[in-house]
Amino acid sequence: MRNKYSLFSLIKNALSYHENWQRAWKDPAPKKEYDAVIVGGGGHGLATAYYLAKKHNMNNIAVVEKGWIGGGNTGRNTTIIRSNYLWDASAGLYDHALKIWEGLSQELNYNVMFSQRGVMNLAHNLQDVRDLKRRTHANRLNGIDAVYLSTEEVKKFCPIINTSPDIRYPVLGGTLQRRAGTARHDAVAWGYARGADAMGVDIIQNCEVKGIKRNGDSIEGIETTKGFIKTKKVGVVAAGHSSVIANMAGLRLPLESKPLQALVSEPVKPIIDTVVMSNAVHAYVSQSDKGELVIGAGTDDYVSYTQKGSHQIVEGTLNAILELYPIFSRMRMLRQWGGIVDICPDASPILSKTSIKGLYFNCGWGTGGFKATPGSGDLFAHTIANDEPHKLNAAFNLNRFISGDLVDEHGAAAVAH
Amino acid sequence: MFLINCPYCGERDQQEFKAGGEAHIERPKQPTELSDDEWAEYLFMRKNIKGVQFERWNHAHGCRKWFNMVRDTSNDEIKAIYKMGEKPPAQ
């Protein structure tokens, strides 16, 4: 029986010095066989397991994770959530996720600290202005809140931005999605893990997949560092390592894995109460509840699995940040890290069946997967349970690279990929 | 960040170079004969290896020449560099 988190449970546990909290999830050894196995215990994988159990009554399932849950890109992103994508297919996908975010803490009985503080995207040249206006109109036609702001309105919404016309890339305007914001990324993984575990899902950490056993065109099971696990359905949610897993199954994917970096500053008092992104100069910044500035840098242009990234990428981002926010010029950066992101040629994800029966891939989220975590899990669970995509992820199939029906969000998304 | 030994200019900072993706992907000899599957394979599908990978690089802020590199993507160690048209080293 899972104890509910509440004010009452907080007081009760405070009386025993917080030493008697129930374990949030178990640490089981793998069973011999499952109805489905999810490879990858990040936010997307855990959410998939949660919705498989909750909405599709698949309780005899497992999540296998080679490290610890949420230790990959779930714990490495800059926690930004928004749905202001240009194309209809993307708008449907990302806004589905945003709608789930709005009630997620209540649903999971776990505070994911979802904060709708707004996301502002800046325009720095005339083409930016045209693109952002077009995207604002497209968003509104799709029922997504979006407004276009003039330079003065940008300044009013976030006073510390340098809107002087004589900077190298002056701020000519921007868009604002008020329903967008941030969430506590670790809490998302932990909340989904706790919720899935409560419904009987086995979350198996330190269990790396070493091989995928096929019988002709169907799946028989997976070889792991904790032995062979028999299963007819495998859902791979392995982010940067998707190609590695695909290779085990003899499948080719249109992905390239590259390091994406982020960094945080020393903590300071509240100074920026929204999220500001700039595509043209590649700078985005928000402030965590601890007071750190959370800064997202760009990807390197070469394939690498090192979780490091190049120094000049960070340097370029900080140049842009200082031009836009001179007030940060004397702040010190506390930590820098990299995550390996799997990028599709059209910068849109793949949530799809494959040519192998019982093998499903949820990958290609590239530089912006965190925002989609709940929606991705929900739709991927639907795809696995029914062996058919949901209408919201039908466009994000693997076959689009053959048919040519790409969802090209490269320049069209609110930030460069 | 690493140093790259350009076959024309010698050792330079990685910042001067641009990565050009997987090497030795042959351009179709008869493009009009290609099926949609073959086009997808040529245009989009990539090995994306974790380990030793053959790739193209361009000395974009130097001699601007293209060359090939053998690099371990799991630790960024460069194994070999050879000019375009040269035979790849055996691995």
pLDDT band at A281 (very low <50, low <70, confident <90, very high): confident
A-interface mutation test, from B43, B44, B67, most A Cβ less than 10 A away:
B44
> A-chain residues within 8 Å CB-CB of B73?
257, 303-306
Judge contact between A248 and A211, C-beta under 8 A. yes
Smallest Cα–Cα separation from A188: which of A95, A81, A115, A108? A108
Quick one: pLDDT at residue A415?
A: 55
pLDDT band at A417 (very low <50, low <70, confident <90, very high): very low
Please name the member of A254, A308, A403 whose beta carbon is closest to the beta carbon of B46: A254
Please name the member of A303, A311, A312 whose beta carbon is closest to the beta carbon of B48: A303
Token digits of residue A156? 């009013």
Token digits of residue A388? 């058919």
Contacts of A395 by beta carbon, 8 Å cutoff, 6+ apart:
A89, A405, A407
Sign of the CA dihedral with A357 first, then A239, A63, and A31 last: positive
Q: How far apart are CA A176 and CA A147, in angstroms?
A: 5
- pTM given for the model: 0.96
> A-chain residues within 8 Å CB-CB of B12?
none
Quick one: pLDDT at residue A274?
A: 97
Contacts of A46 by beta carbon, 8 Å cutoff, 6+ apart:
A38, A63, A69, A70, A189, A192, A193, A196, A203, A377
Q: Does the pLDDT of residue A216 top 70, yes or no?
A: yes
Judge contact between B24 and B69, C-beta under 8 A. no
Q: Which is it for strands B3-6 and B10-13: parallel, antiparallel or unpaired? A: antiparallel
CB atoms under 10 Å from CB of A17, counted, come to: 7
Instruction: Give the nearest chain A residue to B74 (CA atoms).
Output: A305
Mean pLDDT value across residues A127-146: 95
Judge contact between A92 and A396, C-beta under 8 A. no
SS3 A401: helix
pLDDT tens figures, B16-35:
999 999 999 999 999 999 99
Q: How far is CA B64 from CA B5, B7, B58, B67, B79, in A?
A: 14, 12, 6, 10, 22
A257: left (phi over 0), alpha (psi -120 to 50) or beta: beta
Which ranges of chain B would DSSP assign to H, the alpha helix?
36-43
Contact pairs from chain A to chain B, CB under 8 Å: 70
Mean pLDDT value across residues A322-344: 95
Judge contact between A188 and A74, C-beta under 8 A. yes
Burial of A401 (0-12, 13-18, 19+ CB in 10 A): buried
pLDDT tens figures, A86-128:
999 999 999 999 999 999 999 999 999 999 999 999 999 999 9
Judge contact between A114 and A157, C-beta under 8 A. no
Q: Does the pLDDT of residue A256 top 70, yes or no?
A: yes
For residue B30, the distance in angstroms to the closest alpha carbon of chain A comes to 18
- Length of chain B, in residues: 91
CB contact under 8 A, B45 and A312: no
A243 touches chain B (CB under 8 A): yes
For residue A306, the distance in angstroms to the closest alpha carbon of chain B comes to 6
% of chain A at pLDDT higher than 90: 95
ipTM rounded to 2 decimals:
0.95
Please name the member of B14, B18, B36 whose beta carbon is closest to the beta carbon of A310: B14
Q: Does the pLDDT of residue A306 top 60, yes or no?
A: yes
Smallest Cα–Cα separation from A361: which of A39, A55, A35, A33? A39
Residues of B with CB under 8 A from a CB of A: 1, 14-15, 18-19, 21, 36-37, 39-41, 43-50, 53, 55, 57, 71, 73-76
Quick one: pLDDT at residue A283?
A: 87
**Residue carrying structure tokens 């708008």:** A91
CB contact under 8 A, B19 and A310: no
CB contact under 8 A, A300 and B49: no
Contacts of A68 by beta carbon, 8 Å cutoff, 6+ apart:
A41, A205, A206
Instruction: Give the nearest chain B residue to A312 (CA atoms).
Output: B15
Instruction: Give the nearest chain A residue to B20 (CA atoms).
Output: A302
Outline where DSSP puts E strands in A144-292: 147-149, 173-177, 181-182, 202-204, 209-215, 218-224, 227-231, 234-236, 256-265, 275-278, 283-287
A182: left (phi over 0), alpha (psi -120 to 50) or beta: beta
For residue B11, the distance in angstroms to the closest alpha carbon of chain A comes to 17
Q: How far apart are CA A90 and CA A83, in angstroms?
A: 8
Mean pLDDT value across residues A210-230: 96
Tens of pLDDT along chain B (91 residues) come to 689 999 999 999 999 999 999 999 999 999 999 999 999 999 999 999 999 999 999 999 999 999 999 999 999 999 999 999 999 998 6
